[in-house]
Amino acid sequence: MWTWLPAGWRVHQRVVGIVREEMDAIGGQEMLMPVLQPAEPWRKTGRIEIEELFKLADRKGSELVLAMTHEEAVTTHVAQVVRSYRDLPLILYHFQVKERDEPRPRAGVLRTREFVMKDSYSFDRDQAGMDERYQLHVGAYDRMMARTGLRFYRVEGDVGMMGGTGAHEYMAPCAAGEDDVVLTESGYAANAEVVRAQLGKEQLDPAVDRMGGESFELEKAIEIGNIFKLGTRYSEPLGARYLDEHGAELPIWMACYGIGPARIVAAAVEQYADEHGISWPRSLAPFQVHLVALGKPGTPERDAADALYATLLAGGVEVLYDDRDAGTGEKFADAELLGCPLRLTVGRRSLESGEIEVQVRRGRAEAPALRLDAEPRQLLAELRARLDELP
């Protein structure tokens, strides 16, 4: 079980922000469902049998579960509310804790028994509608992934125990990953598990095996999102039905879509860290700017740093100000550990040269300095332009 400390949580919440914007953009409506739930709906869908499902009882002996996903809950609500084809389609989502009794949690936040997931659920009158909602999500997920700055693949996935008729997974390549991705020259990508099943093989050997005659590569990756076509897998047992134009009662077609902010954070660390620490993609960084002040309080250089900090704050720049009483080396080393995209330094040299030193974290590259005596508006404009150039 893991606690997110302040800087890490800022990163997590930046991922959440990106995901929320893209979900809203395809018509998703945010809500919140409970983690602690009655066992009854899980009995109806048969998922009460899953070993990874935490089960418990309250003081009266009523059976409860801790939700591992929210199909049961959301479908129950939809079954109560939706009566007509006029109520469809619907996309509902939330960011909520998931609880899973994993046989072996591992690798930090990569596989944990408790984690936050954005899970959305689409509800349609027929298969064609479901496919449409599914495609909307593919677009939204592609945009989310691109915005995180991660290298990623969308691959054909395994429907697994979710049941249903189709699935894709979003995979972020990194050595710490638990899954293998098959990549062909023509751009086909799939979870190696799926390929093994299709070929009926236990192991894949890129040197020997061929994908439709093509050679392929295997790459380690983290699964950061997955989407499933569920069909009527949940609407049937939970009674989620609607009346069509002819008065016929029909089951609602569903799909579900998950994404794990924690895994995106972990993948970003893995993909971009160097020997000096983390190097966040700009869209995920806890702060855009890390301002290092050198010199003791009361010195002119510190006054200049304080003034710059005030300017940045007033200008709406997300800035972390290191005004600790610590050595220069320690401050620089910590800035590189934390990994904000741009580091500004103000010290005695700045007063002599009239310049604010600028370092780009990715590659630890020195960038052209900013003028210490620039008008605030001009300084902020220049700084934003610099930030916009960063990955």
Site for RNA, rule CB under 7 A:
47, 50-53, 68-69, 100, 102-107, 111, 158, 160-162, 178, 226, 258, 276-277, 294-296, 325-330, 332-334, 336-337, 345-350, 357, 359, 364
Residues 192 and 157: beta-carbon distance below 8 Å: no
Nearer to RNA, 104 or 246 (CB): 104
Nearer to RNA, 249 or 325 (CB): 325
Nearest residue to 376 (alpha-carbon basis) of 356, 348, 352, 349? 356
Tokens 């994404």 identify what position? 259
Token reading at 341: 């995209």
Nearer to RNA, 52 or 375 (CB): 52
- Outline where DSSP puts E strands in 272-341: 289-293, 319-322
Gap between the Cα atoms of 130 and 41, Å rounded: 23
- Closest separation between CB of residue 295 and RNA, Å? 5
Q: Are strands 216-231 and 189-191 parallel, antiparallel or unpaired?
A: unpaired
Please list, residue by residue across 89-123, b when 16 or more beta carbons sit within 10 angstroms of its beta carbon and e when fewer do.
Answer: bbbbbbbbebbbeeeebeeebbbbbebbbbbbbbb
3-state secondary structure 149-217: CCCCEEEECCCHHHCCCEEEEEEEECCCCCEEEEEECCCCEEEHHHHHHHHCCCCCCCCCCCECCECEE
- Closest separation between CB of residue 143 and RNA, Å? 21
Nearer to RNA, 17 or 105 (CB): 105
- Closest separation between CB of residue 101 and RNA, Å? 9
CB count within 10 Å of CB 208 equals 8
- Closest separation between CB of residue 48 and RNA, Å? 10
- Closest separation between CB of residue 170 and RNA, Å? 12
Token reading at 67: 């939700």
Gap between the Cα atoms of 244 and 263, Å rounded: 41
Q: For residue 89, say if its preceding peptide bond is cis, omega within 30 degrees of 0.
A: yes
- Closest separation between CB of residue 155 and RNA, Å? 14
Nearer to RNA, 261 or 347 (CB): 347
Nearer to RNA, 253 or 257 (CB): 257
Gap between the Cα atoms of 275 and 295, Å rounded: 27
Nearer to RNA, 6 or 329 (CB): 329
Nearer to RNA, 139 or 160 (CB): 160
- Closest separation between CB of residue 149 and RNA, Å? 23
Token reading at 33: 């469902």
Gap between the Cα atoms of 390 and 14, Å rounded: 17
Nearer to RNA, 85 or 115 (CB): 115
Backbone angles phi, psi at 267, to 5 degrees: -65, -40
- Closest separation between CB of residue 116 and RNA, Å? 14
- Closest separation between CB of residue 85 and RNA, Å? 30
Adjacent-strand bridge partners of 180: 220
Token reading at 39: 């066992």
